[in-house]
Amino acid sequence: MYNENKTGFDTVIVRYSELALKGKNRGLFEKVLVNNIRKCLYLNNIQYDQISRIRGRIHIKTSLSCTHLRNVFGISSFSQAISTSPDIHSLKDATKKFFPSITNSVSFRISASRSDKTVPVTSSGIEMELGAFVVDKTKAKVSLNHFDFEVGVEIFDGSAYVFCHREKGLGGLPLGVSGKVIILFESVRSILSAWLMMKRGCDIIVVDTGNNDENIKFLKKFSYGSKTEGIKCSIKEMAHVSYRKNINTIVSDQTLENLHEYNLSLTVLRPLIGYQEKDINKMLNNIKKTD
């Protein structure tokens, strides 16, 4: 994550997209996401002063880089930002922090978003004034479509936030908003089936039918909001586990090529059923590349 001047950054802006479509449940989903973020920061020893929800964003007051947020489901992207007053003079002062990177780039652009309409300057007005200011001070070239460096400005509730990098998140729903399922861990592909269910907000309990300790340990890096409990047992013992945990849904890694029925009176979900082997391997490789 970009961190040009540690002393300048004081806020991490967390964005989400799918949660905004949840209507009356949106507030509940946001609260779950905030709690999962708190757990992520706590478990990774990241100190912060406050976490607040502001107009479709979550703001974390901290000067520290929060790269572990890339493994929290429900986050579409996040940025380390400088908070300041929304007047042009203050925005220019904040933008100066990025002059070294701008001058080292071939081209740049300014992107502004103004949710607070009480601020008199429009988004396009901010972009033009800041862009002209940067050109005047650095002689850098502007390119709106083929830029090498971007300075972003977001304005909410009387404050402005200036940043230059968007770290991509996992997206999906916050872990824990969709109930619990049992992951039947039979092969390495079970990592993907579990990950896809977690992305839909499902809390998981892993039933390991073999020796998959390392794979289950890998899943725990995405488990902010869940314990990702692991239980070793055979498929014949699944009914007992389901009864004891009060969960009536299991998740299999089956595809059309190895589809078969389980002798269990439980609902079986097969999230990989529509994928080909090459697609499964590609997604698995991408997941395993995450830090």
pLDDT tens profile 53-78 = 987 899 999 999 899 999 999 999 99
Distance CA 229, CA 126 (A): 50
pLDDT tens per residue, range 134-167: 999 999 999 999 999 999 999 988 899 999 999 9
pLDDT at residue 245, rounded to an integer = 87
Segments making up each domain of the chain, as ranges? 11-168, 180-288
Pick the CATH number of 11-168 from 3.30.2130.30, 3.40.50.1370, 1.10.760.10, 1.10.3720.10: 3.30.2130.30
pLDDT tens per residue, range 241-264: 888 889 999 999 999 888 888 888
Sign of the Cα pseudo-torsion (73, 79, 81, 87, in order): negative
pTM: 0.89
pLDDT at residue 166, rounded to an integer = 94
Distance CA 49, CA 64 (A): 11
pLDDT at residue 20, rounded to an integer = 56
Sign of the Cα pseudo-torsion (215, 217, 221, 224, in order): positive
pLDDT at residue 231, rounded to an integer = 83
Q: How far is the CA of 201 from the CAs of 29, 174, 176, 178, in angstroms?
A: 10, 5, 5, 5
CATH 3.40.50.620 fits 180-288, yes or no: yes
Q: Average per-residue pLDDT in the chain?
A: 89
User: Are residues 170 and 68 in contact, defined by beta-carbon separation less than 8 angstroms?
Assistant: no
Helix then strand then coil, % of the chain, to nearest 5: 35, 25, 40
The strand pair at 203-208 and 229-232 is best described as: parallel
Of the candidate ranges 176-180, 191-195, 227-231, 247-251, the one whose mean pLDDT is the lowest: 227-231
Distance CA 49, CA 124 (A): 33
